[in-house]
């Protein structure tokens, strides 16, 4: 089989898996689409409430039911058009603005997770070149540093009382009870409280520097996954949104910049190639079947092999991300840890 690097003709301009060829860099369009899909799949668009007790008085509307319908329809249309690549920048901005408006219009519905999604979508929608990429990075740094600094200023977080009460009384985590039993009062809470604060501040600082971004995210993903497991909640859409915001911090390689070699005689290689072929409609990775070759991927003057090559190939395949969006929607469908 020959190299298929020229496989770059899109099947359709409105192909939802397409992330190139728009006013947005591919990684930003991918992030925006993943957030839109997650909002739809996890029911956040359908759950936009009637405006009620707004945070700002001018959002008191005479017909809350009509306003809710307008917000829901607007968000649905913006999300679907975004997925169909119709003026994606405008649609991302509209979807983010609707979410933000909904938060302002309903005091009881305020959630940091929804605000985070709104901010990322708005900033993607306002994309205007390199400066915008810096501002998106600043947004994510601000969330980590702000969250860490807020905790530093909370005495209960520093004393261990917050974590201890949360895990033992609210979550009722049996593992926590066992671990805390053999320790002085609040000691475990202090370890976890200070650990969370240090992690958030360190991640905030690391993510501010592009060379440290990969390392920071490699640390952040297991950290957040652990927190989800400990808390028994996905913190609303926050866990999903963080994972899908991370692509804005990286440069997506140009078409033809990435080349993969695989051994067609090996089942795992063949399966990976087949998945990438079906899940990458634009040909971001030019794959070449080379009998007897190890799995290798060339990108940016470096060659990765084995598991690292496979992981990178998967990450450069849009379908991987959309599959993750479906998996991450499962807790919402199962009504697990909804808030």
Site residues, other proteins (CB under 8 A) = 49, 52-53, 55, 90, 107-108, 110, 112-113, 115, 119, 122-123, 126-129, 131-132, 135, 138-139, 142-143, 146-147, 149-150, 153-154, 156, 161-162, 164-166, 169-170, 235, 238
DSSP 8-state secondary structure symbol assigned to residue 8: -
Beta carbon of residue 234, minimum distance to other proteins (angstroms, whole number): 12
Nearest to 310 by CA among 251, 270, 281, 337: 270
Beta carbon of residue 85, minimum distance to other proteins (angstroms, whole number): 14
Beta carbon of residue 306, minimum distance to other proteins (angstroms, whole number): 38
Among residues 147 and 173, whose Cβ is nearest to other proteins?
147
Give bridge partners of residue 287 from the DSSP assignment. 260
Q: Find the helix packing angle between 306-315 and 318-333, rounded to 10°.
A: 80
Beta carbon of residue 264, minimum distance to other proteins (angstroms, whole number): 44
**Is the distance from CB of 339 to CB of 113 less than 8 angstroms?**
no
Among residues 194 and 275, whose Cβ is nearest to other proteins?
194
Beta carbon of residue 80, minimum distance to other proteins (angstroms, whole number): 20
Among residues 126 and 312, whose Cβ is nearest to other proteins?
126
Residue with tokens 């990178």: 312
Among residues 71 and 310, whose Cβ is nearest to other proteins?
71
Beta carbon of residue 28, minimum distance to other proteins (angstroms, whole number): 13
Give bridge partners of residue 297 from the DSSP assignment. 260, 304
Cα–Cα distances (Å) from 337 to 229, 238, 307, 321, 323, in that order, read: 10, 12, 32, 22, 21
Among residues 44 and 162, whose Cβ is nearest to other proteins?
162
Among residues 98 and 143, whose Cβ is nearest to other proteins?
143
Helix (H, G, I), strand (E, B) or coil at 59: helix
> What is the C-alpha separation between 276 and 181, in angstroms, rounded?
49
Beta carbon of residue 207, minimum distance to other proteins (angstroms, whole number): 14
Beta strand 296-299 with 302-305 is antiparallel
Among residues 112 and 320, whose Cβ is nearest to other proteins?
112
Give the Cβ contact number of residue 212 at 10 Å: 15
Q: Please, which residues have CB within 8 angstroms of residue 155's CB and are 6 or more apart in sequence?
A: 161
């Amino acid at each position: 089989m020959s190299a298929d690097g020229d496989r770059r003709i899109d099947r359709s301009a409105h192909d939802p898996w397409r992330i190139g060829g728009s006013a947005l860099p591919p990684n930003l369009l991918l992030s925006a689409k993943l957030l839109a899909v997650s909002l739809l799949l996890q029911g956040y668009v359908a759950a936009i409430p009637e405006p009620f007790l707004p945070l700002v008085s001018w959002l008191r509307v005479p017909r809350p039911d009509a306003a809710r319908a307008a917000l829901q329809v607007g968000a649905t249309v913006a999300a679907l058009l975004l997925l169909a690549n119709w003026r994606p920048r405008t649609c991302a901005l509209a979807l983010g603005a609707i979410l933000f408006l909904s938060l302002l219009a309903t005091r009881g519905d305020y959630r940091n997770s929804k605000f985070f999604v709104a901010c990322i979508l708005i900033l993607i929608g306002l994309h205007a070149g390199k400066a915008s990429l810096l501002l998106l990075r600043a947004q994510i740094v601000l969330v980590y540093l702000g969250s860490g600094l807020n905790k530093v200023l909370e005495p209960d977080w520093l004393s261990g009382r917050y974590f201890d009460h949360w895990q033992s009384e609210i979550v009722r985590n049996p593992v926590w009870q066992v671990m805390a039993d053999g320790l002085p009062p609040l000691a475990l809470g202090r370890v976890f409280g200070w650990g969370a604060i240090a992690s958030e501040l360190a991640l905030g600082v690391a993510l501010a520097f592009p060379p440290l971004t990969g390392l920071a995210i490699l640390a952040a993903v297991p950290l957040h996954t652990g927190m989800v497991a400990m808390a028994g909640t996905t913190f609303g859409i926050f866990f999903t949104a963080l994972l899908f915001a991370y692509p804005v911090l990286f440069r997506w390689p140009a078409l033809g910049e990435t080349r993969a070699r695989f051994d067609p005689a090996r089942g795992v290689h063949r399966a990976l190639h087949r998945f990438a072929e079906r899940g990458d409609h634009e040909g971001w990775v030019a794959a070449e079947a080379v009998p007897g070759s190890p799995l290798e991927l060339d990108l940016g003057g470096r060659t990765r092999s084995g598991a690292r090559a496979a992981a990178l190939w998967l990450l450069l395949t849009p379908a991987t991300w959309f599959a993750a969006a479906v998996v991450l929607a499962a807790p919402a469908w199962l009504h697990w840890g909804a808030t």
